[in-house]
Structure 1
Amino acid sequence: MRMRQRLEEFKAQLIEENLLEGHEDVLLAFEHLLDEVDAHEKEHIITSAKLGIAGYKTDRSAEETFREDMSWLRQAAYRVIERTVADLINKGNKHWQKFYDQVE
Protein backbone atom coordinates (compact mmCIF):
# COMPACT_ATOMS: atom_id res chain seq x y z
CA MET A 1 0.00 0.00 0.00
CA ARG A 2 2.83 2.38 0.76
CA MET A 3 4.04 2.19 -2.84
CA ARG A 4 0.62 3.15 -4.16
CA GLN A 5 0.53 6.07 -1.75
CA ARG A 6 3.95 7.19 -3.02
CA LEU A 7 2.66 7.01 -6.61
CA GLU A 8 -0.13 9.39 -5.60
CA GLU A 9 2.45 11.69 -3.99
CA PHE A 10 4.55 11.65 -7.16
CA LYS A 11 1.41 12.46 -9.16
CA ALA A 12 0.68 15.38 -6.83
CA GLN A 13 4.25 16.62 -7.28
CA LEU A 14 3.88 16.57 -11.05
CA ILE A 15 0.53 18.33 -10.82
CA GLU A 16 2.04 20.99 -8.55
CA GLU A 17 4.83 21.58 -11.08
CA ASN A 18 2.36 21.57 -14.01
CA LEU A 19 4.20 18.60 -15.48
CA LEU A 20 1.63 15.81 -15.25
CA GLU A 21 0.07 16.42 -18.66
CA GLY A 22 1.81 14.18 -21.14
CA HIS A 23 3.45 12.09 -18.41
CA GLU A 24 0.44 10.25 -17.03
CA ASP A 25 1.65 7.12 -18.80
CA VAL A 26 4.83 7.07 -16.70
CA LEU A 27 2.86 6.74 -13.48
CA LEU A 28 0.42 4.31 -15.09
CA ALA A 29 3.28 2.04 -16.17
CA PHE A 30 4.58 1.89 -12.60
CA GLU A 31 1.10 1.18 -11.30
CA HIS A 32 0.85 -1.71 -13.75
CA LEU A 33 4.24 -2.98 -12.61
CA LEU A 34 3.04 -2.98 -9.00
CA ASP A 35 -0.13 -4.82 -10.07
CA GLU A 36 2.03 -7.54 -11.63
CA VAL A 37 4.22 -7.85 -8.52
CA ASP A 38 1.11 -8.08 -6.31
CA ALA A 39 -0.42 -10.74 -8.56
CA HIS A 40 2.82 -12.75 -8.57
CA GLU A 41 3.04 -12.63 -4.78
CA LYS A 42 -0.60 -13.65 -4.40
CA GLU A 43 -0.14 -16.54 -6.82
CA HIS A 44 2.95 -17.67 -4.88
CA ILE A 45 1.05 -17.61 -1.59
CA ILE A 46 -1.80 -19.65 -3.06
CA THR A 47 0.58 -22.19 -4.57
CA SER A 48 2.49 -22.49 -1.29
CA ALA A 49 -0.76 -22.99 0.62
CA LYS A 50 -1.89 -25.70 -1.81
CA LEU A 51 1.43 -27.50 -1.41
CA GLY A 52 1.15 -27.19 2.36
CA ILE A 53 -2.33 -28.68 2.33
CA ALA A 54 -1.01 -31.53 0.18
CA GLY A 55 1.57 -32.27 2.86
CA TYR A 56 4.68 -30.73 1.32
CA LYS A 57 6.99 -28.77 3.58
CA THR A 58 7.98 -25.32 2.43
CA ASP A 59 11.64 -24.53 2.17
CA ARG A 60 12.11 -21.61 4.56
CA SER A 61 15.26 -20.52 2.79
CA ALA A 62 13.46 -20.38 -0.56
CA GLU A 63 10.56 -18.46 1.00
CA GLU A 64 12.99 -15.97 2.56
CA THR A 65 14.70 -15.52 -0.80
CA PHE A 66 11.35 -14.98 -2.51
CA ARG A 67 10.35 -12.29 0.01
CA GLU A 68 13.76 -10.60 -0.32
CA ASP A 69 13.49 -10.62 -4.12
CA MET A 70 9.99 -9.12 -4.04
CA SER A 71 11.16 -6.47 -1.59
CA TRP A 72 14.15 -5.65 -3.81
CA LEU A 73 11.89 -5.38 -6.87
CA ARG A 74 9.52 -3.00 -5.09
CA GLN A 75 12.42 -0.87 -3.86
CA ALA A 76 13.96 -0.79 -7.35
CA ALA A 77 10.64 0.30 -8.86
CA TYR A 78 10.35 3.01 -6.21
CA ARG A 79 13.87 4.30 -6.91
CA VAL A 80 13.23 4.41 -10.66
CA ILE A 81 9.94 6.30 -10.40
CA GLU A 82 11.40 8.66 -7.79
CA ARG A 83 14.37 9.45 -10.03
CA THR A 84 12.22 9.77 -13.15
CA VAL A 85 9.88 12.23 -11.44
CA ALA A 86 12.87 14.19 -10.12
CA ASP A 87 14.31 14.35 -13.66
CA LEU A 88 10.96 15.57 -15.01
CA ILE A 89 10.65 18.25 -12.33
CA ASN A 90 14.23 19.45 -12.80
CA LYS A 91 14.23 19.35 -16.60
CA GLY A 92 15.95 22.47 -17.85
CA ASN A 93 17.83 23.07 -14.60
CA LYS A 94 21.43 23.21 -15.75
CA HIS A 95 22.66 22.40 -12.24
CA TRP A 96 20.61 19.20 -11.98
CA GLN A 97 22.57 15.98 -12.40
CA LYS A 98 20.13 13.76 -14.30
CA PHE A 99 19.57 10.13 -13.38
CA TYR A 100 18.33 9.15 -16.84
CA ASP A 101 19.33 10.82 -20.11
CA GLN A 102 16.13 10.30 -22.08
CA VAL A 103 13.49 11.65 -19.68
CA GLU A 104 11.35 14.05 -21.67
Structure 2
Amino acid sequence: MRRQMERFKQQLSDQGKLQGRESVLIAFDHLLDLLDEHEEKHRLEIGARSTNGEKSNGEVEAAIRAETEFFRDAVRTVIERTIADLVHRGDKEWKKFYDRID
Protein backbone atom coordinates (compact mmCIF):
# COMPACT_ATOMS: atom_id res chain seq x y z
CA MET A 1 0.00 0.00 0.00
CA ARG A 2 2.98 2.28 0.58
CA ARG A 3 4.02 1.99 -3.06
CA GLN A 4 0.50 2.86 -4.08
CA MET A 5 0.66 5.97 -1.88
CA GLU A 6 3.86 6.99 -3.64
CA ARG A 7 2.17 6.52 -7.02
CA PHE A 8 -0.74 8.69 -5.89
CA LYS A 9 1.67 11.33 -4.67
CA GLN A 10 3.53 11.25 -7.99
CA GLN A 11 0.26 11.41 -9.92
CA LEU A 12 -0.88 14.48 -7.98
CA SER A 13 2.55 16.05 -8.39
CA ASP A 14 2.58 15.42 -12.15
CA GLN A 15 -0.79 17.08 -12.53
CA GLY A 16 0.18 20.03 -10.33
CA LYS A 17 -2.47 19.19 -7.76
CA LEU A 18 -0.23 18.25 -4.85
CA GLN A 19 0.57 21.77 -3.71
CA GLY A 20 -1.17 22.43 -0.39
CA ARG A 21 -2.46 18.86 -0.08
CA GLU A 22 0.61 17.17 1.31
CA SER A 23 -1.06 17.02 4.73
CA VAL A 24 -3.75 14.70 3.35
CA LEU A 25 -1.11 12.22 2.23
CA ILE A 26 0.71 12.57 5.54
CA ALA A 27 -2.53 11.80 7.41
CA PHE A 28 -3.05 8.70 5.27
CA ASP A 29 0.53 7.65 5.96
CA HIS A 30 -0.07 8.02 9.70
CA LEU A 31 -3.20 5.91 9.41
CA LEU A 32 -1.25 3.16 7.65
CA ASP A 33 1.43 3.38 10.37
CA LEU A 34 -1.25 2.91 13.01
CA LEU A 35 -2.60 -0.20 11.26
CA ASP A 36 0.93 -1.63 11.00
CA GLU A 37 1.58 -0.93 14.70
CA HIS A 38 -1.67 -2.62 15.67
CA GLU A 39 -0.81 -5.75 13.68
CA GLU A 40 2.72 -5.86 15.11
CA LYS A 41 1.42 -5.46 18.66
CA HIS A 42 -0.97 -8.34 18.10
CA ARG A 43 1.80 -10.55 16.69
CA LEU A 44 4.01 -9.81 19.69
CA GLU A 45 1.16 -10.56 22.09
CA ILE A 46 0.45 -13.90 20.40
CA GLY A 47 4.17 -14.70 20.44
CA ALA A 48 4.41 -13.96 24.14
CA ARG A 49 1.39 -16.13 24.86
CA SER A 50 2.78 -19.03 22.85
CA THR A 51 6.10 -18.70 24.66
CA ASN A 52 4.17 -19.14 27.91
CA GLY A 53 2.55 -22.28 26.51
CA GLU A 54 -0.86 -20.76 25.83
CA LYS A 55 -2.60 -21.82 22.66
CA SER A 56 -4.46 -19.25 20.62
CA ASN A 57 -8.03 -19.81 19.59
CA GLY A 58 -8.10 -20.35 15.82
CA GLU A 59 -11.56 -18.88 15.41
CA VAL A 60 -10.59 -15.73 17.26
CA GLU A 61 -7.40 -15.38 15.23
CA ALA A 62 -9.35 -15.83 11.99
CA ALA A 63 -11.81 -13.16 13.10
CA ILE A 64 -8.99 -10.77 13.99
CA ARG A 65 -7.32 -11.35 10.61
CA ALA A 66 -10.64 -10.79 8.80
CA GLU A 67 -11.27 -7.58 10.75
CA THR A 68 -7.77 -6.31 10.08
CA GLU A 69 -8.15 -7.05 6.38
CA PHE A 70 -11.49 -5.25 6.37
CA PHE A 71 -9.90 -2.14 7.88
CA ARG A 72 -6.98 -2.28 5.43
CA ASP A 73 -9.43 -2.50 2.52
CA ALA A 74 -11.52 0.34 3.95
CA VAL A 75 -8.46 2.56 4.34
CA ARG A 76 -7.30 1.69 0.82
CA THR A 77 -10.75 2.53 -0.59
CA VAL A 78 -10.89 5.88 1.20
CA ILE A 79 -7.38 6.77 0.05
CA GLU A 80 -8.11 5.80 -3.55
CA ARG A 81 -11.39 7.72 -3.65
CA THR A 82 -9.96 10.81 -1.98
CA ILE A 83 -6.98 10.88 -4.34
CA ALA A 84 -9.28 10.35 -7.33
CA ASP A 85 -11.40 13.31 -6.17
CA LEU A 86 -8.26 15.43 -5.84
CA VAL A 87 -6.97 14.38 -9.26
CA HIS A 88 -10.30 15.14 -10.94
CA ARG A 89 -10.93 18.36 -9.04
CA GLY A 90 -12.45 20.86 -11.44
CA ASP A 91 -13.54 18.19 -13.91
CA LYS A 92 -17.24 18.86 -14.53
CA GLU A 93 -17.85 15.30 -15.69
CA TRP A 94 -16.40 13.73 -12.53
CA LYS A 95 -18.89 12.36 -10.01
CA LYS A 96 -17.22 12.95 -6.67
CA PHE A 97 -16.99 10.27 -4.04
CA TYR A 98 -16.75 12.77 -1.20
CA ASP A 99 -17.92 16.32 -0.78
CA ARG A 100 -15.62 18.94 0.75
CA ILE A 101 -12.50 17.73 -1.11
CA ASP A 102 -10.52 20.89 -1.76
TM (norm. structure 2) is 0.96
Give the number of aligned pairs.
102
Q: Please, which runs of 5 or more residues in structure 1 have no aligned partner?
A: none
Partner SS state of residue 75, structure 1: helix
**1:3-82 matched pairs, under 5 angstroms:** 3-82=1-80
The amino acid of 2:87's aligned partner reads I
Q: Give the corresponding residue for 1:96.
A: 94
4+ residue runs over 4 A deviation: none
Code of the residue aligned with 1:53 in structure 2: it is: T
Please give the alpha-carbon distance, in whole angstroms, between the structure 1 residues aligned to 2:33 and 2:87.
26
Match of 1:87 among 64, 81, 85: 85
Q: SS of the counterpart of 2:100?
A: coil
Q: Percent identity?
A: 42
**Which amino acid is 2:19 matched to?**
E
Task: Tell me how large the CA RMSD over aligned residues is.
Answer: 0.8
Task: Give the partner amino acid of 1:55.
Answer: G
User: What 5-or-longer segments of structure 2 have no aligned partner?
Assistant: none
